Each structure stands twice: as C-alpha cells, then as structure tokens.
Structure 1
Amino acid sequence: MDEMEIFRRMALAIAIGALVGVERHWRERDEDEGARTAGIRTFTLIGMLGGVAGLLERLLGPAGAPPGLVLVGFLVTLTAVFALFQYREEVAQNRFSATAVVAAMLTFALGALALVGDMALASAGGVVLAVILASREFLHQGIKRLRWAELRSALILLALTFVVLPIVPSQPVGPFGGVSPSKILVMAIVLAAISFCGYIAVRLLGDARGELVAGTIGGLISSTATTVANARRSKQGPAVPALAAGAVSAGGVSLLRTAFLVVSLLGPLAPTLLPALIAGAVAMFAMAVLLARANAAGGEGREASRRTPKNPFDLDSVFKMALLLVGVAFAARVASQLWGTGGLYAASALSGLADVDAVTVTVAGMLPTLDPQVAAMALGLAVLTNMLAKAVYASVFGARDFAFTLWGATGLAAVAAAGAHFALR
C-alpha cells in the first residue's frame, strides 16, 4: 500500500468520525462547553484513532505481531476511558444510555476498517451509523405505536426466513414436475413481507384516515377481500362513495403489486405487461381520489376511518397464502401438461377469481420452458378475471351505487390498460 493509498484511507477514517460527530454534537448543541462527553472533535479523533490503529496493525503484522492484538488493545482502552467519562456525564444529568459508548466503539471500528479492509463497506457503515443515530425520535415514536401483534408478525417473518426456509426441501415434490416447497415458501414470505411493510409504514406515519387509506392498506393484504368487505358495508351505511373509493384504491394497489412481482420474477415480460398494469393502476387511483373528495364534503365515513385494519401478517394468513400458492401452482402445471396452453389459460382464469399473485408465481416458475407470449397472456387473463370478479362481487354483495362505481372503475382501468398496451406495441 503506497503513501497515497494510506492518505486516502486515513481521510476516510477521519470523515467517518466527523460524520458521526456532527450528529452527536448537534444533538447536544445546547449543552455548555465541557458538559458533554464527546462532540464533533472527539468523534473525529476517534475515527482517526481507528485509522491509526488499523495502520499500525498493517505495519506490525509482517513483523510477527499476533493478528488483531493492536486493534483489540486500542479498542479496549478507548471503550474503558470513554465509558468512564460517559458514566460521569449520565450520573450528573440523571439519565442512562449506552448509545454514545456503542457509537464510539463503532466509529473506531469503522475507522480501522477503512485502513485494513474494504473502503466502500467502511463508508457505507459510517452513513448507516449516522442515520440510525439521527433517527432516534422517529424510531422511539415507532416503537410506541407498534403493537404486540405487529411485533409478533415480524418475529414470525424472521423465523420463517432464517429458521424454517433453510430446512425446507428445495427439490420438486409430486407428479407432473412437482412443486418446490422452498420456492413456495419464499414467495409466501415475499408477499407477506410486502403487505407487512405497507401496514407498518401506515402505522408509523399515522392512523388510517378515511376509507381511501383503509382500502389502500387492504389492497396490500387482499384487494378481493377488501372489495367484498366494503360491498357488504355499503348496504349498511350512507358512505357509499367512501367505501367505493377504498375498494377502487385496493384494486389499484393490487395492480401495482402485480407490477412489482412482474419486475422481480418475470423480467423478460416486463416491457409487455408493465405499461398496461401501471396505466390501469393510475386510472383506479384517480377514480379513488375523486370518490374520496366527493365523500369528504359530506364528512361521511369518519367512523370507518378509525377502524384498525387487520394485521396482514397473522400466521393464518401466511399459511393460507402458502396453500393457495401450492394449489394454484399444481393445478396450473397439471392443466398445462394435460391440455397444453388452453389448460394454463383455464387455470389462470380460475385462480384470478380470488388472487393474481399465485398465477404470477406459477408462471414465473414455468417461464424457462414456457413461451413468453403464452406467459404474458396467462397473467393478463388472471388480472382481467380478477378485476371483473371484484366487480361481480360488488354487484352480488353491495349496494347498487357501490356496484355501479366498481363497474365504472373496472371499465376505466381496462380501457387505460388496453390503450397503454397497444400504444407501445
């Protein structure tokens, strides 16, 4: 390592310390001089100290020094001294927190990493550390708003991802090519994680206000279930436009979910499917906003806006999604092998009566051996069937105005999707 490389790495170590120091100093900027343990100067020096320790480790390594001895010695000394000063400050101010000590240790470690390891990783770690420190209020408020059911769902997601998934067989099981249990579980985890992240985002940014927001949350879980629920409620109350806005917004979210899955799983089909999906979603969102504004003038639907949506990551929901994925995947595979393309189209249309995600996953698994045009047609048929099915459900379960609005939104979205598709061909 030449001198210029050393200067560059040492500058990065110092910059990491300065970045963390700015955040630490800003947080205690109103403290009197000498009343804080560490500010911008101290943390800048800690980053530099890490860089010096890393440089000494590099220089003494070839001389036969035990690997890591210099770094460990510096880190232990720094931690002991810093913790002592921090303890005196905490006692004087009658508060208790180990954040500053841990931040100092990480700043030192990242400074050392800048000298002995990957510079990109060290710089990224410094930015992440500063962001976490600066997000204290946001994170604390988020924890206060979280409920046990949501925390439990997050733990289930982690357990499924890091405990269950590694032991699930990856080889296909069953006749007609079988189904890979691990791929099904991965898709179930991905779909549930999308819903869970959307739910948590709304919870952290504020309680659900109005049927428009509630419908958007419902669309992350199941747009079909949201439509049926709102349709039934439309017969019981006067806020039909608000309920219709929620159902239409859920349909728009469903199209965006499908677009996301297409990009993630069906990359070759993205140029064919994305314009239609996005155009249909935009049309539905525009319709939902107009309906919500029409309802806002009358102040209706406020009671519904206080309704807490169902947690999207209940254990039952996870297994139901997994079973649906398995069933649809198997049915589509059997149908396509027994009856060819027509069988796949039939399976796609039938599954679209309840869900589009399962068809997307199934087509993704068959894509390597499936004609791209057939795959695009199968997924498009499932999306269209799902949109029409929700309009039919609105007619069966909902009030007349609710059903009329859903049919109008469905037609508008279909026209917009068709227009976008043929305009870009």
Structure 2
Amino acid sequence: MSALVMMEAFQRLSLALAIGILVGIERGWQEREAAPGKRVAGIRTYGLSSFLGGLCGFLQPMTGAILPIVIFAFFCITILVFSILQASRDEDYSATAAIAAIMVFVLGFSAVVADMTVTAAGAVAITVLLAAREPLHGFLRRLTWLELRAALILLTMTVVVLPILPNAPIDRWQTINPFELWMMTILVGAVSFAGYVLIRLTGARAGILMTGASGGIVSSTALTLSFARQSSQTPGLSHLLSAGAMLAGAVSLARTLLICSVVGPTVLKELAPLVAPAAVVFAIAGGLIGSLRRSDDTPDFSPKNPLEIMVALRFALVLAVVIILTRATLIVFGTQSLLALAFITGLGDLDAITLSVAKLSSGQLSADAAAYAIAVAAFANLLAKAVLAASIGSFAFAVRLAIATTVAALAGMAGFLLA
C-alpha cells in the first residue's frame, strides 16, 4: 500500500471516528441527566460504532461484502436488544437513540467507501436534526391543522402537480407556459408561507418591528392596513406602527429583487439601482423611528394563511391575466404603454406584474424596459399604501409613512439618474 493510499485511509477512518464523536456529543448532551451506565449509547459508543462502520468499509475490498453485512447485522441486533431492555426499564419507547446509532455506523461506512464531503455534510445535518428536538416539538405543539394543510398544499403543488404540467406555451401568442406559471405561483406561495411561519413562531405579541419585517414577506399591503387601523385605535403607538409599516415596505421591495433574481436575473442589474435605495431608506427610517421609544403594548397581526388552495389558484389566475395583458400591450401599443399597465397593476399587486415582466425579459422585452416597468409598479404600490394609511390610520401614522415614502421614491429616482 503506497503512502498516498495509506494517508487517504487514515483520513477516511478519522472522519468515521469524528462523525461518531460528533453525534455522541449531541446525544450525551440530550441525556446528560441520566446516570452513568443507564444509557444505551454515549460518546464512546457512538464513536466506536462509526469507527466500526469505517473498518467494515476498509475491509470490504479484501474480504468481500459478506463480513461487513454480518458485522452490521450483529451490530443492529445488539443495539436493538439493549434499546428494548432500556425501554422496558424506563418505559421510554423512543427509537431515536437506536436509529442514531445505526446511522452513525452507516455514515462511518460511507466515510470510507463514498465521498467524504457528502458524508460529512450528512453527519452534520443529522446532528442538527437531533439537536433540534425541543424547537421541533414546540413547533408541532403550536402547529394548527390549517398550517399543516398549507404545507401539504405546497408539497402537492411542487411534487405532484408541477411535474405533470406541459413545459411549453399552449396559446397562439406563445405567452402562457403552464409549467412556468405554476412554478412562479409556487415561488410566491413559498416565500409568503415562510413569512407566515415566521410570524407564527415569534408569537402574536413578539413586537411591532419583528411583525412588520416578517409581515412584509407575507403582504406589506395587508400589514400596512392592519397597522393603520391599529394606529387609529391606539394613537400612542403610531410611531412604532409606522416603523413596522416602513420595515414591511423595505422587506417587500427586497422580496421584489429576490423574485427578479430567480425569474429574470438580467433584470436585477437594471432594477437594483432603482429599488434598492428605496428599500434602504425604508429600513433605516423604520429602524430609527422604532428605536426612539419602547412599548410593551404591541398589536396583533394575524395574516391569513397564504397557501389556502383558493388563494393559490386565484393568484395563478391573476398572474395569467397579467401576463396576457402585458404581452398584448407590448404587441398592440409597444414598450411605452407597458409603464401605464405596470402602474395600474402595481396599485393592487406588485408580485404579479413583477413576475410577468421579469419572465418576458428572457427574450421579448429588454432588461432595462422590464426594470423600469417593475420600478413603476413598485412606486404605485408604495403610493397605494400611503393613501390607505392616510384614509384609515392616525394623522401621525399617515404623516410618518408619507414622508418615508416620499424620501424612498426620491432615493429611487436618484438611483435611476446615477445608474
């Protein structure tokens, strides 16, 4: 055996041992209250288990597959017997420790016979999952049927429906691609659902600023409307509520840039100088105003589940209509008319026009024209929220938000002129 091969063998066996020690540390910490000798496996046992798996992988080329299989079967039987004995003594029927021990054996084997990077990543992922027991259990205790159903809907949309959709235009104008349309619906739904989960995890009274920032992922318009109503009921909180609305606006604009980076990367370079300054202004203004005073009285913001099936279907329908109108407008009236359509559409929904225009930038529309249209839609959306704030919210709330919106719009114009 050459020195190079010997060195690689030592590295792989060392990785196998390190995997067991890593998992063993996590398991030992979880069961640190147990008396010595009362656990099926600890740091040493997990380390030896993974090293045994590594030795099986090392010996396989010389002994064949029979010996590693026999050793693995004997190992599994031993672990299961001791787990059963512990379960009958402690009346604890959790199979996590036994499965973790079998996993480290397999990972130790993989460290020798497979890719070391993938194996190490798998070991870290498993350790993180084991360590996240309390947060995961707490999340399950707070999980409602509506949220579980939303997650199942997202999985169904992605795994079941998406693969069977035709990935080609189905209309005579070569505009509607069902696969791409559904993919964009999933994209927006997933981002919105992530924000919804964040709000649920932080609790109903986690704070106006946190709610504002996370609510901007779900719907900045809905959050601004909710905060505006709250400001009229509790004027003393107007400064914090306006700060939360500003943070929601910043997150909403950042979300627009994120969508463009996925759907139309060429648009992002042109759009960032127009939208990013406005997002920065909102973020700074919200942070400064929110830090002026503190209050323990925070409003509740409970957004609707963003992945109800009718919500997803309605968004897909709206997106399809906007895509058709955008394409028809370009064909009949030319590029200049797109700005008017973007302004009108942006008053109600920024995501739909962003997705449709970014999609067209792949060949039917120049990147700068698409960026200008999205920027106009974003400005219209900001204007609509400012008008809502003025009509529903308190005077202090409306004034603060109007000033921040004006400065943000000017920052966007400055970015346009300097770009």
TM-score, normalisation: structure 2: 0.90
Matched, 1:115 2:118: no
Matched, 1:258 2:253: no
Find the counterpart in structure 2 of residue 381 from structure 1: 376
Residues 225-257 of structure 1: CA distance to partner in whole angstroms, max 9, x if unpaired?
333344455445534444433332321221111
Q: How does 1:125-164 map to 2 (within 5 A)?
A: 125-164=122-161
CA contact (8 A) 1:332 1:343 kept: no
CA contact (8 A) 1:387 1:410 kept: yes
TM-aligned CA deviation for residue 295 of structure 1? 6.7
Residues 173-228 of structure 1: CA distance to partner in whole angstroms, max 9, x if unpaired?
22322211111111111111112112223322444434433333432222223333
- Whole-angstrom distance in 1 between the partners of 2:330 and 2:393: 36
TM-aligned CA deviation for residue 159 of structure 1? 1.0
Write the letter of the residue equivalent to 1:76. Answer: A
**Pair 28,393 (structure 1): closer, same or farther in 2 beyond 3 Å:** closer
Matched, 1:172 2:169: yes
Find the counterpart in structure 2 of residue 97 from structure 1: 94
Instruction: Find 1:54's aligned residue among 52, 57, 64.
Output: 57
TM-aligned CA deviation for residue 331 of structure 1? 0.9
CA contact (8 A) 1:328 1:362 kept: yes
- Whole-angstrom distance in 1 between the partners of 2:139 and 2:226: 29
CA contact (8 A) 2:175 2:323 kept: no
Instruction: Find 1:86's aligned residue among 83, 86, 99.
Output: 83
- Whole-angstrom distance in 2 between the partners of 1:232 and 1:173: 44
- Whole-angstrom distance in 1 between the partners of 2:276 and 2:290: 21
- Whole-angstrom distance in 2 between the partners of 1:333 and 1:349: 16
- Whole-angstrom distance in 1 between the partners of 2:332 and 2:293: 51
Aligned CA RMSD, in angstroms, stands at: 2.4
Find the counterpart in structure 1 of residue 337 from structure 2: 343
- Whole-angstrom distance in 1 between the partners of 2:157 and 2:353: 22
- Whole-angstrom distance in 1 between the partners of 2:67 and 2:195: 46
- Whole-angstrom distance in 2 between the partners of 1:91 and 1:44: 25
CA contact (8 A) 2:335 2:369 kept: yes
Q: Name structure 1 gaps, 5 residues minimum.
A: 62-67
Residues 316-356 of structure 1: CA distance to partner in whole angstroms, max 9, x if unpaired?
22222212211111111111122220232232222211122
Matched, 1:34 2:37: yes
CA contact (8 A) 2:278 2:408 kept: yes
**Pair 242,175 (structure 1): closer, same or farther in 2 beyond 3 Å:** farther
Matched, 1:12 2:15: yes
Find the counterpart in structure 1 of residue 322 from structure 2: 328
TM-aligned CA deviation for residue 415 of structure 1? 2.4
TM-aligned CA deviation for residue 85 of structure 1? 1.0
Instruction: Find 1:22's aligned residue among 2, 19, 25.
Output: 25
Matched, 1:225 2:222: yes
271-280 or 402-411, which deviates more: 271-280
CA contact (8 A) 1:161 1:189 kept: yes
235-244 or 265-274, which deviates more: 235-244
Instruction: Find 1:194's aligned residue among 191, 194, 197.
Output: 191
TM-aligned CA deviation for residue 131 of structure 1? 1.0
- Whole-angstrom distance in 1 between the partners of 2:40 and 2:195: 40
Instruction: Find 1:355's aligned residue among 341, 349, 353.
Output: 349
- Whole-angstrom distance in 1 between the partners of 2:395 and 2:27: 60
Residues 73-113 of structure 1: CA distance to partner in whole angstroms, max 9, x if unpaired?
33322111111112222332232210011101111111111
TM-aligned CA deviation for residue 60 of structure 1? 4.0
TM-score, normalisation: structure 1: 0.89
Find the counterpart in structure 2 of residue 418 from structure 1: 413
Q: Secondary structure at the match of 2:154?
A: helix
Find the counterpart in structure 1 of residue 367 from structure 2: 372
TM-aligned CA deviation for residue 418 of structure 1? 3.3
232-241 or 147-156, which deviates more: 232-241
- Whole-angstrom distance in 2 between the partners of 1:389 and 1:354: 8
CA contact (8 A) 2:12 2:116 kept: yes
Write the letter of the residue equivalent to 2:197. Answer: I
Aligned residues: 414
**Pair 241,201 (structure 1): closer, same or farther in 2 beyond 3 Å:** same
Q: Name structure 2 gaps, 5 residues minimum.
A: none
**Pair 270,71 (structure 1): closer, same or farther in 2 beyond 3 Å:** farther
TM-aligned CA deviation for residue 53 of structure 1? 1.7
TM-aligned CA deviation for residue 23 of structure 1? 1.3
Q: Secondary structure at the match of 2:305?
A: coil
- Whole-angstrom distance in 1 between the partners of 2:315 and 2:349: 10
